[in-house]
Structure 1
Amino acid sequence: MRLRPTDLALTGGFVLFALAEEFLIGMPGRWWPLVLAVSAGLVLVRRFVPLLALAPHIVEPLPFFYEPAVIAGEQTVNFRLWQLVGVMIILYTVGRYVPPSRESRRGLIGAVMVALTFAVYLINNPGDPMAAIFFPLAPYVLGVALSVQARRSADAASARAAIREQHAREAVMEERVRIARELHDMVAHSVTVMVIQAGVVRRRLDAGLPVDRELLQSIESSGRDAVGELRRTLGLLRGEGADSAQPPVGLERLDDLFAQVREAGLELTVRREGEPVPVPPAIDVSAYRIVQEALTNVLRHAGPARVVVTVGFHDDGLRLRVVNDGRKASVSGGGQGLIGMRERAALFGGELVAGPVDEGGFAVRARLPLPVTAAA
């Protein structure tokens, strides 16, 4: 702890008050400068050693330190008012900084010292018990009350800080999940297409067959798309603008996606239902990612298959269906792709159902509610 400007100001004000009393009233007793110096020193360091500062004030009111005096025609003793002010300052400090507590021995010692001070004042002036109660106890009780209030405020601030920290951690985790999902959806499709097409190239080379140039160009194009998407996403995460050469994904880019999977060997049929309406950007991106992930899963798991993709605008929202007739697949546990698709649908109050169909194959069905202005 260090001395504060308020410590110096309070001590200075106390000394000025004492000097004013001495020169205006002129009580007898030449000992007052020494007592004033000690009292001022105790007021100055009261926050550092509150119990030690209180100790002299317990015995200070004892009558054998004083002599009778007549002030303004009244019989009294030469106990100064500034002495009373000094002890009140110290008593407040004890209550403020050393409040009684079961966990603190110093707090209990302070309470005992305050009780002794009260007893000394009451014994020395039994004719005025209210003064004995007020002057020693009121400052101490005020200090204790402010200490309790400060402790509660600190606890509340600590709780609010803990809640903010928890929210920050949750936000970071949500952002990490979002980034992981975005990177997974973005890269997995292009890489899967590249792997399948590269496998075709390898098998043709092993068989001594010529390699179609367009197939190699398709692999190159898929790689460039993956790199472009990756750069665009990382740029957005850094707060940079999107690359103008790589437009953001959405329903308008589904035709490019369909062309990629056709080049990878899938027999793809596209059906569109309803009249297209403007779709909010966030839903637009999520719809594209759901279709992209569903087609990626077909490439990975279904084998040679025919796929029917349906994009429908209905009264209850945007409906997406990706149905294939390939090998049956299990949804027990669900991979990151299915989890990501479900999270994207749930984010906008929609739902996604994925599972095998009776005739064979696998189906992904999703519904994304659209705002009233978009669906109208």
Structure 2
Amino acid sequence: MNVDPAPWRRPGPLPEQRRTDVLVGVAVTTVALLNLTLANSAGQFVLGRPPSWPEQVFWTVACTLPLAVRRRRPAAVAIVISVAFIAAQYRQSPEQQVSLGALYAAVYTAGAWSADRKLARRVRIGIIAAMFGWLAVSAALAVADIPPDAFSDASGPLEPLLAVMVNTVLVNVVFFGFAYLFGDTAWTSARRQHQLEVQADQLRRSQADAAQVAVMGERVRIARELHDVVAHHVSVMGVQAAATRRVMDKDPGKARTALAAVEQSARTAVDELRRMLNLLRASGPDERPGGVGVDRVAELVANARDAGLDARFGVYGEPLPLPESLSQAVYRIIQEAITNTLKHAGATEVDVRVRYHANELEVDVADNGRGAPPGATAGVGLGLIGMRERVTAHDGTLAAESRPGGGFRVRARFPLVRVPA
């Protein structure tokens, strides 16, 4: 579980909790005053002759009414009630049952709601120590006033006075101990709830960020696919249309062949765009634009040959089954390299090679064109950016640069992952 970098301070009570405290304080004070009235009516003056009635009411109210603000001022309320309780006992006020319960509640609240943990600990320990100190003093003062026949009916194995003292100490230890421990438990529970809320909020933000990254990745993938499909076929169509214009009058047969190639390229482009749009509309989370792979590279080379290039294609090594995503990446890289050759290189030849090494798959596309302009930075076009993204996605490497003897070369290497046929 994550821990806050700064010590956590419990927030103050909510307005509804404050209103509840006021109602509880008034209710406890009413019950204490009722108990005081009954004690006076029954003559139950255990501590001795009580003070005047107004003073009894004052001490009773002082011991209970501060509970109305117990969660707003927990340490102060605990101190006020403990001082009032000891003073009330010293003055022999007969009401003590409800007042003692209010003292336990105040000690509990100081542990559960005090923002300053050191102060809360010191206040509670100080109150408990003061109470047991007062217990010892009051017991010492009361021993001298015990009549000789006070324990005439005692029949237990312990001395009567010792039994009374042990019973009083045990009861106070248990109740003050529970008030102390439960206060700490309540504060710890509130802190853990806060940490859970913080973690839930962090998780929600992380999920939102991940969703945003996924959306951006999907947009980049769609843009890359559209670029590869449209750019290649439109480039081929442009080259073939130019060839048609040049030979239309001289050789109508070649012109018809070129126009047929233009028509076929247009249909292919439309088919691929329709397939991609259908996949984008699909609701399945695993749908991906596919349908092309290394087995269709020969078609690309044939299209380049139809566009007027002296295109050659060779496969070296033992062909192996490839993961669908890798096979598609190989196809798209070769497609983009041929498209660039048609559009920019002014080349007459293009050589496409696919090599299967022991642990690596290599794709090599080279032409005899004019290469990159002097001073130009290779790899800044959208097509080459798309190539690098595809290669990086498969932990491969890409080199796109001018050849020493003229022309341009694109070489991609992928770690070879063998999959079952």
**TM-score, with structure 2 as normaliser:** 0.63
Q: Which has the larger radius of gyration?
A: 2
- For residues 230 and 179 of structure 2, the distance between their equivalents in structure 1, rounded to whole angstroms, comes to 76
CA contact 1:270–1:308 (8 Å) conserved in 2: yes
Asked if 1:263 corresponds to 2:306, the answer is: yes
Aligned residues: 345
Asked if 1:353 corresponds to 2:396, the answer is: no
Residue 370 of structure 2 aligns with an amino acid whose one-letter code is: R
Question: 1:299, CA displacement in angstroms?
Answer: 1.0
Residue in 2 that maps onto 1:338: 384
CA contact 2:311–2:350 (8 Å) conserved in 1: yes
Asked if 1:79 corresponds to 2:103, the answer is: no
Residue in 1 that maps onto 2:334: 291
Question: 1:62, CA displacement in angstroms?
Answer: 4.8
1:99 to 92, 115, 124: 115
Deviations along 1:184-232, one digit per CA (max 9) or x if unpaired, are 2222211222233334445667x89858233333223222222222232
Asked if 1:325 corresponds to 2:342, the answer is: no
Residue in 2 that maps onto 1:363: 409
1:306 to 349, 352, 363: 349
Deviations along 1:332-376, one digit per CA (max 9) or x if unpaired, are 15122223223322322332222111111011122223224459x
> What secondary structure does 1:315 align onto?
coil
Q: 1:324 to 1:158 in 2, by over 3 A?
A: same
CA contact 1:269–1:308 (8 Å) conserved in 2: yes
Coordinate RMSD, CA, aligned: 4.9
Residue in 2 that maps onto 1:230: 273
Residue 335 of structure 2 aligns with an amino acid whose one-letter code is: Q
Q: 1:188 to 1:83 in 2, by over 3 A?
A: farther
Report matched runs for 1:51-70 at 5 Å: 57=81, 61-64=85-88
- For residues 214 and 187 of structure 1, the distance between their equivalents in structure 2, rounded to whole angstroms, comes to 22
CA contact 2:66–2:81 (8 Å) conserved in 1: no
CA contact 1:301–1:329 (8 Å) conserved in 2: no
Residue in 2 that maps onto 1:252: 295
Residue in 1 that maps onto 2:230: 187
Q: 1:314 to 1:85 in 2, by over 3 A?
A: same
Q: 1:240 to 1:268 in 2, by over 3 A?
A: farther
> What secondary structure does 1:332 align onto?
coil
Residue 405 of structure 2 aligns with an amino acid whose one-letter code is: E
CA contact 1:251–1:285 (8 Å) conserved in 2: yes
Residue 354 of structure 2 aligns with an amino acid whose one-letter code is: V
Question: 1:167, CA displacement in angstroms?
Answer: 3.6
Residue in 1 that maps onto 2:165: none
Q: 1:374 to 1:360 in 2, by over 3 A?
A: farther
Question: 1:286, CA displacement in angstroms?
Answer: 0.9
Q: 1:53 to 1:348 in 2, by over 3 A?
A: same
Q: Structure 1 stretch 247-256 or stretch 152-161: which is displaced more? A: 152-161
- For residues 309 and 372 of structure 1, the distance between their equivalents in structure 2, rounded to whole angstroms, comes to 23
Deviations along 1:248-269, one digit per CA (max 9) or x if unpaired, are 0012222322222222222211
- For residues 232 and 46 of structure 1, the distance between their equivalents in structure 2, rounded to whole angstroms, comes to 70
- For residues 369 and 83 of structure 1, the distance between their equivalents in structure 2, rounded to whole angstroms, comes to 79
Question: 1:238, CA displacement in angstroms?
Answer: 3.7
> What secondary structure does 1:61 align onto?
helix
CA contact 2:322–2:418 (8 Å) conserved in 1: no
- For residues 192 and 105 of structure 2, the distance between their equivalents in structure 1, rounded to whole angstroms, comes to 19
Residue 377 of structure 2 aligns with an amino acid whose one-letter code is: S
CA contact 2:111–2:124 (8 Å) conserved in 1: no
CA contact 1:197–1:215 (8 Å) conserved in 2: yes
- For residues 244 and 110 of structure 2, the distance between their equivalents in structure 1, rounded to whole angstroms, comes to 86
Report matched runs for 1:114-263 at 5 Å: 121=131, 125=135, 127=137, 134=177, 137-201=180-244, 212-239=255-282, 248-263=291-306
Residue 410 of structure 2 aligns with an amino acid whose one-letter code is: V
> What secondary structure does 2:189 align onto?
helix
Residue 354 of structure 1 aligns with an amino acid whose one-letter code is: A
Q: 1:150 to 1:302 in 2, by over 3 A?
A: same
CA contact 1:268–1:307 (8 Å) conserved in 2: yes
Question: 1:66, CA displacement in angstroms?
Answer: 9.0
Percent pairwise identity: 34
- For residues 247 and 121 of structure 1, the distance between their equivalents in structure 2, rounded to whole angstroms, comes to 81
Deviations along 1:306-326, one digit per CA (max 9) or x if unpaired, are 011112223223322111101
- For residues 65 and 161 of structure 1, the distance between their equivalents in structure 2, rounded to whole angstroms, comes to 56
Question: 1:86, CA displacement in angstroms?
Answer: 4.4
CA contact 1:61–1:120 (8 Å) conserved in 2: no
Q: 1:99 to 1:181 in 2, by over 3 A?
A: same
- For residues 179 and 290 of structure 2, the distance between their equivalents in structure 1, rounded to whole angstroms, comes to 78
**Structure 2 unaligned spans of 5+:** 1-13, 46-52, 138-168
Residue 313 of structure 1 aligns with an amino acid whose one-letter code is: Y
> What secondary structure does 2:225 align onto?
helix
- For residues 317 and 89 of structure 2, the distance between their equivalents in structure 1, rounded to whole angstroms, comes to 103
Q: 1:53 to 1:371 in 2, by over 3 A?
A: same
Q: 1:342 to 1:52 in 2, by over 3 A?
A: same
Residue 220 of structure 2 aligns with an amino acid whose one-letter code is: V
Q: 1:287 to 1:62 in 2, by over 3 A?
A: same
> What secondary structure does 1:338 align onto?
helix
Residue in 1 that maps onto 2:7: none
